[in-house]
Amino acid sequence: SQKIEQNSEALNIQEGKTATLTCNYTNYSPAYLQWYRQDPGRGPVFLLLIRENEKEKRKERLKVTFDTTLKQSLFHITASQPADSATYLCALEMEYGNKLVFGAGTILRVKS
């Protein structure tokens, strides 16, 4: 069956450390993988997109890796801040502009 799995437990880290979130998928062949941030009671906000032929993408303090052999993406936030506390969603896109298939998300809590 098709599955997208993200860290099931909340991730608690200290301010200034690097947060690493995992997204594993089974029986999908995504052309693109996206990461979104969602705050309580609000819609998801797009952060980064990585293509199947890209290994790594960076944007400011964010870094995403994509390994299509392992069927895994890692999402890193360096120098984390309490304002980074939110739920982070991984989403697969089979072709560009098509619907997104989301994981359940990982709650990140950054403590000062």
Partner 1 sequence: DTGVSQDPRHKITKRGQNVTFRCDPISEHNRLYWYRQTLGQGPEFLTYFQNEAQLEKSRLLSDRFSAERPKGSFSTLEIQRTEQGDSAMYLCASSLETTSEFFGPGTRLTVL
**Quick check: 74 and 59 in contact, CB under 8 A?**
no
- Would you count residue 34 as binding partner 1 (CB under 8 A)? yes
Q: How far is the CB of 44 from partner 1 (least distance, A)?
A: 5
- Would you count residue 23 as binding partner 1 (CB under 8 A)? no
Spatial separation of the C-alpha atoms in residues 2 and 14, rounded to whole Å: 34
Q: How far is the CB of 69 from partner 1 (least distance, A)?
A: 24
Tell me which residue of 92, 84, 39, 38 sits closest to 60, measured CA to CA: 84
Tell me which residue of 38, 45, 52 sits closest to 88, measured CA to CA: 38
Q: Which is nearer to partner 1, 40 or 83 (CB)?
A: 40
**Quick check: 43 and 53 in contact, CB under 8 A?**
no
Q: Which of residues 35-74 bind partner 1 (CB under 8 A)?
A: 36, 41-46, 49
Name the one residue in this structure whose structure tokens are 């890193």.
76
- Stretch binding partner 1 (CB under 8 A), from 9-17, 57-65, 70-78, 96-104: 96-104
- Would you count residue 85 as binding partner 1 (CB under 8 A)? no
Residues near partner 1 (CB under 8 A) are 4, 34, 36, 41-46, 49, 89, 91, 96-97, 99-105
